[in-house]
A and B are shown apart, each in its own frame.
Chain A
Amino acid sequence: MAAAIYSLYIINKSGGLIYYKDYGSAGRMDTNDSLRVASLWHSMHAISQQLSPVSGCSGIELLQADTFDLHCYQSLTGTKFFVVCEPGTLHMESLLKYIYELYTDYVLKNPFYEMEMPIRCELFDINLTQAVQKDRVAFLGR
């Protein structure tokens, strides 16, 4: 069975956190910490592009640590979606692309949503919760 997803972050193009959802990790962070971590990730992503030995680097896609993996997807507009999951979780790239689709459908097409602001769209939350459930993740990876 697909392993667990711990949390999801969405960062706008300037590096500010616009969405943070924790799905049951022991290391749940408060708002301030999640903001700091998100902007730190934004900077690290940019620096990793500088360190590339070959031209054409688009930043960190996967970070592997001892107790978790971090998958990151950057859209063409600079919005970053990253998910913290158990080590060895499969199909995270396709999940992130699916979340990007949900973002474009339920957030960007929402006329009351201001760009670069925190996301407060109920339909986005509902669909996201459905997408992140374990059996749906396995379905996506098919």
Chain B
Amino acid sequence: MPSSLSSILLHSFILPSSTSFPSSPVATATAALLSSSPSFAAVVEIELVLPDLAFLLHVVDSCSSPPPSLTGLVVLVLANLLHHSCNRIRLLAIQGFGSTSLLIKNAIFRGNGVCLLYREWNRPLRTLNAQQDHKLMFGLLFSLKSLTAKMDPTSAEKGNLGVPQLPGQGCSFHSFRTNTYKLSFMESPSGIKIILVTHPRTGDLRDSLKYIYNLYVEYVVKNPLYTPGAPIRCQLFNTTLDQYMRGIA
């Protein structure tokens, strides 16, 4: 059976450099491949839930050009893993999506308005079109940033309205509140914008936004298979983000 073959190979390769693993071969294979850096595990981890080796082939295929033999494939995966230091073993938690009383919606944008990630946890009403929603959101935030930079009462030297501002240049807003929702916003120096839409009586969420930015750096930016500017498809990022959002909800 293919999975037991791969598990035996992994077991013999990993064991000298690592210490404690469960005894059964399949569990060993699971633990060995999980004890790698978070960014690489983001790609490999989910594939291990199903012991089907075809999925494992798919993962290695996307890393680099695959060698012909099965043994070669497994060795290639291990070679990549050993480059990263062993972190603590992460458990893959599959959670159901229950509804929460707190409205939360989360969007991450790049500098030019491409939406990298959109997650929602509880959203009763939508605009007509999802694409329209993203464009509307980006347009609103861009214009509000321009407005706050111009309206800044503490600085006398300001550019004209509508001039594109660099991240961090000029006064920027961090949240606005309406009677039905509160939007919290953070822009990183690289132009990545993180937006959280919550219940209007939520407090200051700037620390949460910083935390989400840290998650983004750890699980997305440090993922060797992620190209900057592309939509985020990192399963580990989604999972951790989910856990964090449910924790603060």
Spell out A's residues near B (CB within 8 Å).
6-7, 25-27, 29, 33, 36-37, 40-41, 43-44, 47-68, 70, 84
Contact = CB atoms under 8 A, between A and B. Distances in A.
A33 B103 contact: no
B176 A64 contact: yes
Contacts of A55: 124-125, 180
B155 A41 contact: no
A37 B153 contact: no
A63 B155 CA distance: 18
Nearest to B146: A40
B182 to A, nearest CB: 9
Contacts of B158: 27
Contact count band on B: 35 or more
Contacts of B36: none
Contacts of A65: 148, 152, 171-174
5 contacts: A51-B127, A51-B137, A54-B181, A58-B180, A60-B178
A58 B133 contact: no
Contacts of A27: 151-156, 158
B159 to A, nearest CB: 11
B179 interface: yes
Interface of B: 103, 105, 123-127, 133, 136-137, 139-140, 143-144, 146-148, 150-156, 158, 161, 171-181, 183, 197
A50 B137 CA distance: 10
B155 A26 contact: yes
Contacts of A50: 127, 136
Contacts of A26: 153-156
Closest 10 CB pairs of A and B: A25-B153, A6-B153, A65-B173, A57-B180, A63-B176, A65-B148, A27-B153, A62-B177, A53-B123, A54-B180
A35 to B, nearest CB: 10
A44 B150 contact: no
B247 to A, nearest CB: 21
A25 B175 CA distance: 22
B125 A70 contact: no
Contacts of B126: 53
A48 B161 CA distance: 20
A67 B105 CA distance: 27
A29 to B, nearest CB: 8
A119 to B, nearest CB: 20
B143 A84 contact: no
B147 A40 contact: yes
A56 B144 CA distance: 22
A57 B171 contact: no
Nearest to A24: B153
B124 A61 contact: no
B153 A68 contact: yes
Contact of B153 (A48, A60, A84): A84
A41 B183 CA distance: 16
